[in-house]
């Protein structure tokens, strides 16, 4: 009997996995790297292979979503699936875990930091004050789910984390500016006053790495700002505590008058 080991790599490079995860990858018969649900900006495949002591095969969306070959391999030998961030932020991985369990394949999980955990602390917001998160996707089709999520959260005074769409196989990654323009377009369609001119946006790029960049400001300001290479994310704060105000001024370069309007 084999096994399927999900091993998180964290947010930046191959060095973000835990020591326990590294040990399990070294002992696995096969090591796979899932390449489409997120991006590790500092990943070096050769360095990763040196760390685990064996070849690392990169697998794409079709391979992971189909899952048949992966589950067949895992039924007879130990397979390590390396993923960016934490293993089960992506619903595809949850599906694989369920299918493996139904087939009686042992599943092991080795966690690592994810954007959901790291982003609040990076900008100085209190993590228990976050509501639902949402993904801003490339059109077509046009999805207003992010707009509805923001409306719901702000109605309760909660912060909102937006993931930004990516199409890794096409090397297409949504930027902070593109995402903000899509949100503004949603407001023009809906006209419900959710996205106002004085609304604070916080753009985040390469969180958790040495080239992390964070900036808070009005949407029209950040939409034209170059946040550099991906991955990017956005936070829209809800009602701010005085300590969060101070943190946004210090850590995200927020304008004092703007953030104080949201306390």
Pairing, β 200-205 against β 134-136: unpaired
Residues 120 and 85 in one domain: no
The DSSP-derived string for 11-51 is: SSSGGGS-HHHHHHHHH-SEEEEE-SS---TT--HHHHHHH
Domain that holds residue 94: 3-110
Nearest Cα to Cα of residue 11 among 93, 92, 112: 112
Residues 69 and 122 in one domain: no
CATH number of domain containing 193: 3.30.950.10
The number of domains in the chain is: 2
Residues 121 and 40 in one domain: no
Pairing, β 232-236 against β 200-205: antiparallel
Please say which residue of 48, 78, 110 terminates a domain.
110
**Distance between CA atoms of 91 and 108, rounded to whole angstroms?**
17
Those residues with Cβ within 8 angstroms of residue 262's Cβ, 6 or more apart along the chain or in another chain: 200, 237, 238, 239, 240
Helix axes 176-190, 145-155, angle to 10 degrees: 80
Residues 127 and 38 in one domain: no
- Report yes or no: 214 and 225 within 8 Å, Cβ to Cβ: no
Residues 106 and 134 in one domain: no
Please say which residue of 95, 110, 125 terminates a domain.
110
Residues 133 and 195 in one domain: yes
Reading the chain (263 residues) residue by residue, the pLDDT tens digits are 899 999 999 999 999 999 999 999 999 999 999 988 889 999 999 999 999 999 999 999 899 999 999 999 999 999 999 999 999 988 889 999 999 999 999 999 999 999 999 999 999 999 999 999 999 999 999 999 999 999 999 999 999 999 999 998 888 999 999 999 999 999 999 999 999 999 999 999 999 999 999 999 999 999 999 999 999 999 999 999 999 999 999 999 999 988 888 76
CATH number of domain containing 44: 3.40.1010.10
Please say which residue of 110, 129, 149 terminates a domain.
110
Residues 80 and 132 in one domain: no
pTM: 0.93
Residues 131 and 231 in one domain: yes
**Distance between CA atoms of 62 and 64, rounded to whole angstroms?**
6
Residues 128 and 251 in one domain: yes
Residues 155 and 46 in one domain: no
């Amino acid at each position: 009997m084999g096994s399927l080991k999900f091993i998180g790599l964290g947010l930046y490079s191959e060095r973000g996995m835990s020591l326990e995860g590294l040990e399990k990858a070294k002992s696995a018969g096969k090591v796979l790297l899932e390449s489409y649900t997120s991006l590790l900006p500092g990943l070096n495949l050769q360095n990763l292979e040196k760390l685990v002591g064996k070849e690392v095969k990169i697998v794409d969306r079709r391979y992971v979503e189909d899952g048949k070959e992966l589950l067949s391999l895992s039924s007879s030998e130990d397979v390590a699936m390396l993923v960016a961030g934490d293993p089960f932020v992506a619903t595809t991985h949850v599906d694989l875990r369920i299918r493996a369990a139904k087939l009686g394949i042992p599943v092991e999980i080795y966690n690592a930091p994810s954007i959901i955990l790291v982003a609040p602390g990076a900008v100085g917001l209190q993590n228990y004050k976050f509501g639902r998160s949402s993904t801003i996707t490339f059109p077509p089709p046009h999805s207003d789910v992010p707009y509805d999520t923001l409306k719901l959260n702000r109605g309760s005074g909660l912060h909102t984390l937006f993931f930004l769409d990516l199409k890794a196989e096409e090397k297409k990654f949504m930027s902070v500016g593109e995402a903000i323009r899509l949100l503004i377009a949603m407001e023009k369609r809906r006209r419900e006053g959710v996205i106002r001119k004085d609304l604070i946006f916080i753009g985040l790029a390469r969180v958790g790495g040495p080239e992390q960049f964070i900036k808070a400001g009005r949407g029209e300001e950040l939409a034209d700002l170059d946040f550099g290479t991906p991955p990017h994310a956005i936070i829209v704060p809800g009602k701010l505590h005085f300590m969060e105000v101070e943190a946004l001024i210090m850590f995200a370069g927020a304008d004092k008058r703007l953030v104080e309007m949201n306390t």
